């Protein structure tokens, strides 16, 4: 439990939001998990949204309301409860404290905790299917690769956290395995074509298209 409380960094002043390297954000803006969910809730692509909902990151904000978090906050002399303290929120809420210009619409909901863009980067410029289906285009549009860049994780998972256990440390490879939510290999780079084929087959059989694409809605 203590290990999960990664964001309570009283008196540390490291100035990092969850998921890390703010210098890499550039001019890209955040859209929030609801927008990511449009495609990533689909079983065809691996239902990454469902995996996130079941994992600890989605509950990062709620963790701050627990007894253990309150205890640590008091031990560290925080002036506010952990769920209201900047020292905690900057690693437990995606894009916490960012200016309005950092968001495509409105600031992200604190209740959503550590969501997609903490690890994959602000997504407004790579959220479209045609971009996401091409790795090079996605990277050029601001997407990060947490599976290849440990610093994205260690911006918060580090020894400056009061819940850090030096005996356990942070096992990057084990952490990746724990929250794995990969796109199926047979779908990578072919999602648009496969989805079109499936929709055409469904239409031909008289079935209704029950999933609307909302990726470009404002």
- Average pLDDT over the chain reads 85
Asked if 48 contacts 202 with a C-beta cutoff of 8 angstroms, the reply is no
Of 17-31, 68-82, 116-130, minimum mean pLDDT range: 17-31
Answer whether 66's CB lies under 8 Å from 7's CB.
Answer: no
CB 138 within 8 A of CB 132: yes
Mean pLDDT for 82-104 is: 95
The C-alpha atoms of residue 95 and residue 23 are separated, in whole angstroms, by: 13
Do residues 177 and 51 lie in contact, with contact meaning Cβ atoms separated by under 8 Å?
A: no
Is the pLDDT assigned to residue 1 strictly greater than 50? no
Q: pLDDT band for 210, please (50, 70, 90 cuts).
A: low
List, in order, residues 6 or more apart from 31 with CB less than 8 Å away. Answer: 103, 104, 105, 117, 122, 123, 124, 127
Q: What is the mean pLDDT of residues 108-125?
A: 97
The b/e string for 40-60 (b: 16+ C-beta within 10 A; e otherwise) is: bbbeebbebbebbeebebbbb
CA 109, 16, 65 angle in degrees (round to 5)? 45
9 in Cβ contact with 160 (< 8 Å): yes
Segment 95-117 shows an average pLDDT of 97
Q: Tally DSSP H helices, then E strands, for the chain.
A: 11, 0
Q: Given this model, what pLDDT does residue 25 score?
A: 74
Architecture in CATH for domain 22-204:
Orthogonal Bundle (1.10)
Share of the chain above pLDDT 70, in %: 83
Q: Is the dihedral of CA 178, 183, 184, 186 positive or negative?
A: negative
What are the residue boundaries of the structural domains of the chain, listed by start? 22-204
- Give dist(CA 161, CA 41) in Å, integer: 32
Q: Where are the beta strands (DSSP E) in the chain?
A: none
Rounded to an integer, the average pLDDT of 43-63 is 96
User: Which residues are 30's β-sheet partners?
Assistant: 103
Average pLDDT of span 148-158: 94
Distances (CA, A) of 130 to 126, 127, 137, 193: 9, 9, 9, 11
């Amino acid at each position: 439990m203590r290990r999960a409380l990664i964001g309570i960094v009283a008196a540390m002043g490291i100035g990092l939001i969850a998921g890390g390297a703010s210098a890499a954000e550039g001019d890209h803006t955040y859209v929030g998990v609801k927008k990511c969910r449009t495609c990533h809730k689909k079983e065809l692509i691996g239902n990454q949204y469902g995996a996130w909902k079941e994992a600890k990151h989605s509950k990062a904000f709620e963790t701050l309301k627990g007894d253990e978090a309150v205890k640590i906050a008091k031990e560290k002399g925080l002036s506010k409860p952990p769920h209201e303290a900047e020292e905690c929120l900057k690693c437990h809420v995606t894009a916490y404290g960012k200016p309005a210009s950092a968001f495509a619409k409105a600031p992200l909901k604190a209740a959503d905790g550590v969501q997609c863009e903490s690890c994959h980067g602000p997504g407004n410029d790579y959220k479209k299917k045609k971009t996401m289906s091409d790795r090079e285009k996605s990277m050029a549009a601001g997407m990060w690769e947490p599976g290849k860049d440990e610093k994205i994780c260690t911006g918060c998972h580090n020894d400056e956290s009061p819940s850090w256990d030096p005996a356990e440390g942070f096992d990057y490879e084990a952490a990746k395995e724990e929250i794995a939510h990969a796109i199926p290999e047979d779908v990578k780079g072919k999602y648009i074509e496969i989805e079109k084929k499936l929709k055409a087959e469904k239409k031909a059989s008289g079935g209704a298209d029950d999933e609307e694409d909302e990726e470009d809605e404002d």
